[in-house]
Amino acid sequence: MRGWTFLLLAVLVAGAVYAAAAAVNNGYVFFAGYVVLQYVVLATAWNLLGGYTGYVNFGVAGFFALAAYGTVAIEKLAPLPLPAVILAGGAISGLLGLGMGYLTLRLRGVFFSIATLAMAVVAQTFVVNWNFVGGSAGAFVIRPQFTAWFHIDYIHYLFLLMLVLCVIVLATARLIERSRLGDGFAAIRDDELAAEAAGVPTLRLKLIATALSGAFMGMAGAPLPYYVTYLDPPSAFSLSYAVNTIAMPLIGGTAAWPGPLIGALLLATLQQLVTVTISSAVNLLIVGLMLVGFIIIAPRGIIGWFGIGEGKLRRRKRR
């Protein structure tokens, strides 16, 4: 499938999803769906670094929440249209990713992961002490009831924007997999020293990966204040964002773009169902049980059952 065909198909699917949600005509579908879509973006963004280059980032909440607080700041300073705010959030977290890359990418394996976790704590401390965005007391953001232009219900609008982000991030992930960039990422994941010896510019590629991954996580986080309307540091920087975001690609499979998509759809939908039927307290338990289960029955994720990834997709494209 060519890139444009894929994009067109993705847009059609996204349109169908939106139409289906609208057909149900229940506000809750949009509320719950927004969270699921947000996790599709987060999981796919995480996988750009974690799945393709093998660098496990535990600082998801840092990228996600910093962009959300960027939105709060922009709202207070000079309100912009939401798509522009999302781009700004992407820029903030992309820069954070680049900076984190410079500081930590000489670390490998678990040391890198610990550094990213620490980065999220630093970001949270920074926000707690930043009174302009509410500090530890949190910040209220007023969500308009309708959009200014087409008079769309604002929740529908947020849902739609997240759907667009899903299409963009999935198309990007797929493009990377099929490009030299993806080959370089795979080389880093397999054996970084060998990649370097073969002339792959490893530092540059890793910086591209951290910046891109961070930027998309930021874009996922930027609309958050409008969704929750009240943002406070402990919930915005909650570790559960990192845990969920890492579990989803692992469950779905990290080798190719359908993995994080499937994992996020499965896990986040289940969590939303459990939240309304039992309690949101069960959410992390579900993640734990599913991770243990899938590591046993599908070590390469759900896509591993179908033989997607691990060279197969890549081989097909070359012949």
Partner 1 sequence: MASSLTLSGVTAGYGAVHVLEDVSIAVPAGATVALLGTNGNGKSTLMKCVMGLVRPSAGSIVAEIDGVRHELVGRSTEAIVALGIGFVPEGRRLFPKLTVTENLMLGAFRAAARPEIARNLDFCFETFPRLRERAGQLAGSMSGGEQQMVALARALMSAPRILLIDEPSVGLAPVLVRRTIDKIRELKDSRQLTVLMAEQNFTQAIRIADQGYVIVHGRIAFEGASAEALNNNELIRKFYLGM
Angle, helix 154-177 to helix 27-50, in steps of 10 degrees: 20
Q: How far apart are CA 267 and CA 286, in angstroms?
A: 8
* Sequence-separated contacts (24+) of 24-29 with Cβ below 8 Å: 27/153, 27/155
**Residue 33 structure tokens:** 């769906």
Residues 6+ apart with CB under 8 A from 314: 177, 178, 182, 186
Nearest distance, CB of residue 124 and partner 1, angstroms:
34
Closest CA to 53 of 245, 212, 170, 288: 212
Phi-psi region of 56 (alpha: psi -120 to 50; beta: other; left: phi over 0): beta
- Selected from 1, 9, 103, 198, the binder of partner 1 by CB under 8 A is 198
Cα 267 to Cα 312: distance, rounded to the nearest angstrom: 26
Residue 60's identity, in one-letter code, is V
Size of the residue set binding partner 1 (CB under 8 A): 23
Is the CB of 143 or the CB of 180 nearer to partner 1? Answer: 180
For residue 183, the minimal CB distance to partner 1 (Å) is 6
Of the candidate residues 76, 144, 191, 305, the single one contacting partner 1 (CB under 8 A): 191
Report, in Å, the least distance between residue 202 CB and partner 1: 8
Near partner 1 by CB under 8 A: residue from 48, 61, 200, 222: 200
Q: Single out the segment in contact with partner 1 by CB under 8 A; choices: 26-34, 70-78, 193-201, 275-283.
A: 193-201
Measuring CA to CA, which residue among 276, 281, 86 is closest to residue 168? 86
Cβ proximity to partner 1: between 74 and 187 the closer is 187
Q: From the CB of 113, what's the least distance to partner 1, in Å?
A: 21
Q: Which two tokens stand for residue 291?
A: 């991770």
303 binds partner 1 (CB under 8 A): no
We find the least distance from the C-beta atom of residue 196 to partner 1, in angstroms, to be 5
Nearest to 171 by CA among 48, 63, 306: 48
| Residue among 203, 239, 284, 298 that touches partner 1 (CB under 8 A) | 203
Contact pattern from residue 159 through residue 188 relative to partner 1, giving x for each residue in contact according to CB under 8 A and a dash for the rest: ---------------------x--xx-xx-
| CB nearer partner 1, residue 143 or residue 312 | 312
Query: Tokens at residue 287, please?
Result: 């993640």
Question: Closer CB to partner 1, residue 47 or residue 93?
Answer: 47
- Helix spans in 129-238 (H): 154-177, 180-190, 192-197, 202-221, 224-228, 233-236
Exactly one of 142, 193, 296, 297 binds partner 1 (CB under 8 A); that residue is 193
> Is 316 an interacting residue with respect to partner 1 (CB under 8 A)?
no
Instruction: Tell whether residue 197 is a contact of partner 1 (CB under 8 A).
Output: yes
Judged by CB under 8 A, the chain residues 208 through 237 that form the site for partner 1 are none
**List of residues contacting partner 1 (CB under 8 A):** 180, 183-184, 186-187, 190-191, 193-203, 310-311, 314-315, 318
